[in-house]
Amino acid sequence: MTQADTEPKVSLKSLEQFCRGVLAGCGADEATAAAAARAMMHGTRFGVDSHGVRLLGHYVEALVGGRINKTPKLHTIGGFGAAETLDADHAHGALATYTAMERAVAIARQLGVAAVAIRNSSHFGPAGAYALEAARQGLIGFAFCNSDSFVRLHGGASRFHGTNPIAVAVPVAGQDPWLLDMATSAVPFNRVLLYRSLGNPLPESVASDAQGVDTTDPNETEMLAPLGGEFGFKGAGLAGLAEILTAVVTGMRLSFEIAPMMGPDFTKPRQLGAFVLAILPEAFGDRAMFNDGMKRYLEALRNSPARSDATVMAPGDREWQIAADRETYGVQLDPATYRSFELLATRYGVPLPTAAINS
């Protein structure tokens, strides 16, 4: 919506190469560059552009400044049985969380279910990327994190929780996974910024002024509302669940203790936590029964009657459609991101992403 038609569409492949090249150029080790690029590409591929490649310049600043460790030594510091704690040594959150999910998947293959708590991580981008990784390997995956405060409590009048996402992905035999990746606020703060620049009113019950009173004026918006409007205690409770698993279980910072993502300080690690969980469906019964159940459930869901002005979709269906389109035709970068890419290309001597063949 903010995209001008002047930028050409670029291929996802060249975008990922560009991200990896720039990250390596600023000194990130190979594992960091690969994981951070992969997570951003999840965002860009699935249309979650707020958590896509537009973050590249931000991550470079955090890596160069020292907030994120360019050459971290991740190591297991605790846990037993099906539980493990990973100290990420202030790694990029994508490296930390992909690593944690790999461990959770490996343990769950042995023990049916596994959870990994992550200490000393950093911004991990799209939560769905890590849940999806479990689903790609045949397991049900969960990913949680917290983030700096933007969201009021139900009835609250100050920023308290972050947008604290919850992501879950479920494997579907022969199909793309079921994928839920939701902020526990109704909308992300980027939406407010977008509406501000467009001069449009916000939807009802998603944002509040400085007194915590709902407003549809993006210029009056001081904080976000928890998911649920009048029933926002549910959204706030889900945000609390993410907060407890990622900050309390790990001993990391609570949302209101986290240094602002956008600085000004890019030198100090933010001490973020995160939490992932993996469940092996066949630990509970026959895998064919599970596969048949998912198929029957999704078939019924997708064929369920829709309102005359709407369609029904399974979680992730919209994202898989966008991914298919962008795989084929490439993606158009917004002008601000494109300009930042030009600067990064020059600084690190990395060729700009190239046009998609089919665009």
> Binders of a copy of itself among 94-113, rule CB under 8 A?
110-113
195-214 footprint of a copy of itself as x/- string (CB under 8 A): --------xxxx----xxx-
Could you give phi then psi for residue 152, rounded to 5 degrees?
A: -75, 165
Q: Which of residues 122-151 bind a copy of itself (CB under 8 A)?
A: 140
Q: In this complex, which beta carbon is closest to a copy of itself, that of residue 251 or of residue 351?
A: 251
Q: Is 6 among the residues that bind a copy of itself (CB under 8 A)?
A: no
Q: Is 78 among the residues that bind a copy of itself (CB under 8 A)?
A: yes
Q: Is 174 among the residues that bind a copy of itself (CB under 8 A)?
A: no
Q: Is 194 among the residues that bind a copy of itself (CB under 8 A)?
A: no
Half-sphere exposure of 190 (CA within 13 A, CB side): 14
User: Cα 135–98–41 angle (5° rounding)?
Assistant: 80
Could you give phi then psi for residue 190, rounded to 5 degrees?
A: -55, -35
Which of 59, 160, 189, 195 is close enough to bind a copy of itself by CB under 8 A? 160
Q: In this complex, which beta carbon is closest to a copy of itself, that of residue 269 or of residue 353?
A: 269
Q: Is 290 among the residues that bind a copy of itself (CB under 8 A)?
A: yes
Q: Is 279 among the residues that bind a copy of itself (CB under 8 A)?
A: yes
Q: In this complex, which beta carbon is closest to a copy of itself, that of residue 85 or of residue 122?
A: 85
Size of the site for a copy of itself (CB under 8 A): 87
Q: Is 307 among the residues that bind a copy of itself (CB under 8 A)?
A: yes
Q: Is 254 among the residues that bind a copy of itself (CB under 8 A)?
A: yes
* Count of residues in the chain: 359
Q: Is 114 among the residues that bind a copy of itself (CB under 8 A)?
A: yes
Decide: residue 307, CB within 10 A, 0-12 exposed, 13-18 middle, 19+ buried: exposed
Q: In this complex, which beta carbon is closest to a copy of itself, that of residue 27 or of residue 79?
A: 79
Number of neighbours of residue 57 by Cβ within 10 angstroms: 17
Q: Which of residues 20-49 bind a copy of itself (CB under 8 A)?
A: none
**Residues 270, 259 contacting (CB under 8 angstroms):** yes
Please give the Cα distance from 333 to 359 (Å, whole number).
Answer: 13
Torsion of CA 242, 248, 252, 258, to 10 degrees: 60
Torsion of CA 285, 290, 292, 298, to 10 degrees: 160
